[in-house]
Amino acid sequence: MKILLVEDEPGLRSAIVDCLVQDGYVCEIAPTYALAHEKIKLYQYDCVVVDLTLPDGNGLDLIRALKADGSAAGVLIISARAALDDRLTGLGLGADDYLVKPFHLSELNARLKAIIRRRQFQGQQQLVFRDLVAWPDDGRVFVHGAPIALTKKEYDLLLYLLANPQRVLTKEAIAEHLWGDEADASDSFDYVYTHLKNLRKKLQEKGAGDYIQTIYGLGYRLRDV
């Protein structure tokens, strides 16, 4: 899952990033309104964690921009502003949740998972596609009821496909989703093919169908066979 953290306070930003990366998220950061606005215009995120008080703008305007663009990203507000009016305004604009500072990182993580579960997985704790079952909260995957060992990138790739069944995903979209800012430095996205090939092989060795379809010139999609 790919997160954009909009937070200007360095210590808190670093602590949140460490927590989210340790839990398996791809986490990009934006310490200013301007950078955050640029990123939400260029890239797709599963969730945007946004502080309201930024040195060069208001986090509420970022939420307005996300909603105006029809973004599917979840929005979690983190703010020291605890007034009821602030919370009602943020939620009224379309934010999914509001967390008042200071907070425990474990609570932030739990609320983030709940938002992603509601938005990406229809509120379900497990994802089922034919004979595949994945449990996003703890990273387990089963084929025909038997566990399968995947690398971190293979698992993230499978989860991205499961969250977007039947949808064609380009190499660029996959690279940006799985590698975040690192994908911008790549001259090509051929490494995506390598991870897809390995994932497909492991799934089929466990008896799964060939669900990952290559659509030449466009990308890949998870399909019924």
| Residue-range domain boundaries for the chain | 2-121, 152-222
Closest of 58, 57, 56, 63 to residue 4, by C-alpha: 63
pLDDT-based confidence at 148, cuts 50/70/90?
Answer: very high
- The answer to whether 26 touches 179, Cβ cutoff 8 Å, is yes
Q: Tell me, what amino acid is at 92?
A: G
**Pure H helices in 23-140:** 33-42, 59-68, 84-93, 105-120
Task: Tell me what pLDDT residue 225 has.
Answer: 72
CATH topology of domain 152-222: Arc Repressor Mutant, subunit A (1.10.10)
The DSSP output letter for 140 is E
The model carries a pTM of: 0.85
Q: Per the structure block, which two tokens stand in for 46?
A: 């599963």
Rounded to the nearest 5 degrees, what angle is found at the Cα of 137, between the Cα atoms of 42 and 35? 20
Query: Residue 27: beta bridge partners?
Result: 3
Superfamily designation of domain 2-121: Response regulator (3.40.50.2300)
DSSP category for residue 22: H
Q: Dihedral of the CA atoms 126, 142, 20, 53 (nearest 10)?
A: -30
What's the confidence (pLDDT) of residue 187?
75
pLDDT in tens, 41-88: 999 999 999 999 999 999 999 999 999 999 999 999 999 998 899 999
Q: Are 129 and 211 in contact (CB under 8 A)?
A: yes
